[in-house]
Structure 1
Amino acid sequence: MSEEKLSDLISPEAVINFETGPIKASTLDTMIKLLPFEMGFCDANDIFRWYSNNPNRVHGRRQEAIGRPVLELHPKVAHYVEKLLNDFRSGKRDEWEFWFPKHSGEHGQIYQKFMAVRDENGKYLGCMDVTVNIDLFQGKEGKNTPETIDEFKAVKPE
């Protein structure tokens, strides 16, 4: 399989026709960068293929990681990652999630979820991970979050 970039194969202006509607490749890329969480994907052969390039990432990612075996990227926990991927591949498990404290003594929690990606026939295509800085969603000062639908309706646009 060639290691070509999407931009080498199609124009950023190309339209991708999803089941739920069409969208330009460049618009989709921009939207993914705005999501308040990070994503990554390794294929059915456990090769790291893609990550969302969100600003202020919890987990640093490097472009050099693309195309490398995922077990090489996580040597300290390779045994656990291998077991998880084998469980996904065999169908024993479809997802796994956990919470852990931020690194470097910072206050706060991180949520991470790994999910088996399967096609419509159940064939294993790889593993997707989602990482969320939970602090983004917990009671930040100055946020006006309506508690009820009536409060939401009462908010006047600025």
Structure 2
Amino acid sequence: MLEQKLSELISPEAVINFETGAIRASTLDSIINLLPFEMGFCDADDIFRWYSNNPNRVHGRRKEAIGRHVLELHPKVAHHVEKLLNDFHTGKRDEWEFWFPKRSGESGQIYQKFMAVRDENGRYLGCMDVTVNLDLFEGKEGKNTPETIDEFKAVKP
């Protein structure tokens, strides 16, 4: 069943009920794609299942990767990925994080965090990764948030 596309399982107009509220699937997808970071998920069998489709990705992702084993997708660093996943499966660790230079020859840094996803009983459900282009925060200085309602009202879009 997980091999099917989300649109085959859930209508974009379907409402997903969470503990903290409800939202349409299409709205949730739009929100995820606006986030200033990228996300991906592989399931408990280490099969790549999903990624956010942000327009300005730092990590290129291909739809063809969905449904493939994670180690197939990262042959050059498979031994590192295997260690990370083994630590998640066994409960030895719940997160790994890295900072590294951009690989495309551009200057800049990337932050990546991998997190074990577990249910309320601690059962391993998979691994989520978050990737942030740290250049987004470079040169951000000064006061960006109004401190009073009057300052807020004075800000012109």
Do the structures match in fold with TM over 0.5?
Answer: yes
- 1:69-102 deviations in whole A, cap 9, x for unaligned? 0000000000110011000000000000010011
Q: CA RMSD in A?
A: 1.8
Identity %: 79
Give the corresponding residue for 2:144. Answer: 145
- 1:112-133 deviations in whole A, cap 9, x for unaligned? 0000000000000000000000
TM-score, normalisation: structure 2: 0.92
1:7-156 equivalent positions in 2, closer than 5 A: 7-140=7-140, 145-146=144-145, 150=147, 154-155=151-152, 156=154
- Structure 2: which 5+ runs fail to align? none
Q: Give the AA of the match of 2:147.
A: D
TM-score, normalisation: structure 1: 0.91
Q: Give the AA of the match of 1:27.
A: T
Quote how far apart the aligned CAs of 1:153 are: 5.8
Matched pairs, number: 155
- 1:128-157 deviations in whole A, cap 9, x for unaligned? 00000011122258x8624xx637862423
- Structure 1: which 5+ runs fail to align? none
Structure 1 residue matching 2:147: 3-state secondary structure: helix
Q: Give the AA of the match of 1:42.
A: C
Structure 2 CA distance for aligned equivalents of residues 82 and 25 of structure 1 = 32
Structure 2 CA distance for aligned equivalents of residues 154 and 40 of structure 1 = 38
